Amino acid sequence: MADLQAPRGMSDVLPEDEPLWRFVRDTAERVARSFDYRLINTPIVEDVRVFSRTSGDESDIVSKEMYVFEDRGGGELALRPEGTAAVCRAYIEHGMGSRPQPVRLYYFGPMFRYDRPQAGRYRQLWQFGVECIGDPSPAADAEIIELQYTLFRELGLDDLTLSINSIGTAETRRTYVDVLRRHLEPHLEGLSQDSQRRFGTNVLRILDSKEDAGHPALQSAPSILDYLTDEDAQHFEAVRSLLDASGVPYEVAPRIVRGLDYYARTVWEFEPPAAEGSDSGQQGTVSAGGRYDGLMELLGGPPTPGTGTAMGVERTVLNLRARGIEAPSAAPVDVVTIPLGGQGPAAALRLAQSLRAAGLTVRAGIPGRSLRAQLRGADAAGARYAAILGDDEAARGVVQLKHLARDGEQREVAVGDAAGVVGSE
RNA sequence: GUGGGUGUCGCCUAGCGGUCUAAGGCGCCAGGUUGUGGCCCUGGAGAGCGGGGGUUCAAAUCCCCUCACCCACCCCA
């Protein structure tokens, strides 16, 4: 094995992987644009405060998963762990608040988290995300969810389940956390160690516990939905009826919470159906998002509502592969040139130029190899035609066009006619 | 961060203490005509067994450490 390898948890996307990636990316961009979302590219590094202020210093992302480094000017930079905060920073920086609201944006790029890698979890992960900024209404939430839903359908992932919840606003959450604490406290002894730890750090997470899922204390736990303010409840109700209207199936899951502090009200996740057998792939969430009113203020901007979602590209590709879904096949090689002799190479170069100019895909043959070897190579490449050019052809301004894809019939045509012949089939 | 598993040519795999200066398949390169493919045949290049250290007369084969990957937990996309 080579002594130099890609950094832990980071991997190469090889040419053979690329068609599926391109399928995901192209489909994502097409769907986003069809909802009138526009691309925004932000740097992959940001001032660390973009994330520490917004994700919450206590969050795992900030406390232990960020790649932070000092640049030569002494500033603290971070490899971005997620996209939303960076997009919001750009929104503020470029005064997008004075554009027609809401501003609809999408991004596609790598994120970095210093996690322990495992199936579906990487230190460099790609996300496709959409953000609808400047609209507090339930319609924006429903639009984002519908967009994501549409994208999964277009990709052929039609068995993902959508879970939605409302976690209210900061105050309702505080109230609910107190209630939940009081409810769980008497049962603490009987809960798992993880849950006991989370009782101190993040009570809401206990609801998500796999270990304690069947515990009576959890089954009887109060639902956050019962603690929503009237406004929160109305908002959630409206999101639901809009989803109903657009035919997006979902289930309400009062137990889902999100990892980042800036979420408010609507939150959601798309997950593949629980795998048969037992313990496969707990890294299931393919896409997740929520409303983040309040985030802008954490970044020093004016109060601005927003909602968005992010999809894990690797996990999406994993799900496509698991279902045997393949990317539309790439364009084949139209012609492989086969230069022979002393004059062939130059003639082949000129021919290749003119064929490419005509929009054809041409692989240059390698001078010096035998005709036999070159034809074998052309065949292996799956080329439709081989264009043989030796001294004789070069002198006469012709080329031997051999139709590999068929029976190998070969005919001599003038160099100038080659593009027409190849292009006509 | 915690626990478990794996690690032999580019890929897949055999070997599991001496017959291994490591074998096979795929792929790659070349040849089987002087300028003709796909099948087939022949030959060739390519690893010293993830790395390091031990044990032993002898290690790919045993032990330890380390690295990487995989799986689970935590957390998350």
3-state helix, strand, coil in chain A (%, to 5): 40, 20, 40
Q: Name the closest nucleotide to A384, judged by C1' and CA.
A: B37
* Statement: the CB of A269 is under 7 Å from strand B: yes
ipTM, interface predicted TM-score of the complex: 0.85
Helix (H, G, I), strand (E, B) or coil at A124: strand
Q: Which of residues 342-381 of A touch strand B (CB under 7 A)?
A: 369-373, 375-380
pLDDT in tens, A376-425: 999 988 899 999 999 999 999 999 999 998 888 899 999 999 999 998 87
Residues 6+ apart with CB under 8 A from A160: A152, A270, A271, A272, A273, A286, A319
Strand B–CB A410 distance below 7 A: yes
Q: Which of these ranges, A241-245, A272-276, A296-300, has the smallest mean pLDDT?
A: A272-276
Across all strands, nucleotide nearest A202 (CA–C1'): B75
Tokens linked to A336: 């492989």
Pick the range with the lowest mean pLDDT from A93-97, A262-266, A356-360, A389-393: A262-266
**A279 CB below 7 A from strand B atoms:** yes
**What's residue A61's pLDDT?**
67
Helices (H), A3-124: 18-34, 48-55, 60-64, 84-93
Tell me the domains of chain A and their CATH numbers. 18-168+228-322 (3.30.930.10), 335-423 (3.40.50.800)
pLDDT (tens digit per residue) in A131-158? 999 999 999 999 999 999 999 999 999 9
Strands A76-79 and A67-70: antiparallel
Q: Which residues pair with A413 in a beta bridge?
A: A399
Which residues 1-20 of chain A have a CB under 7 Å from nucleic chain B? 1, 5-6, 8-10
User: If residue A40 lies in a helix (H) or strand (E), which one and from where to where?
Assistant: none
- Which residues of chain A (217-256) touch nucleic strand B at CB < 7 A? none
Region A21-35 average pLDDT: 97
* A109: confidence class by pLDDT, cuts 50, 70, 90: very high
pLDDT value at position A292? 94
A164 CB closer than 7 A to any strand B atom:
no
Within 7 Å of a protein beta carbon, the nucleotides of strand B are 1-3, 7-10, 27-32, 34-38, 50, 67-77
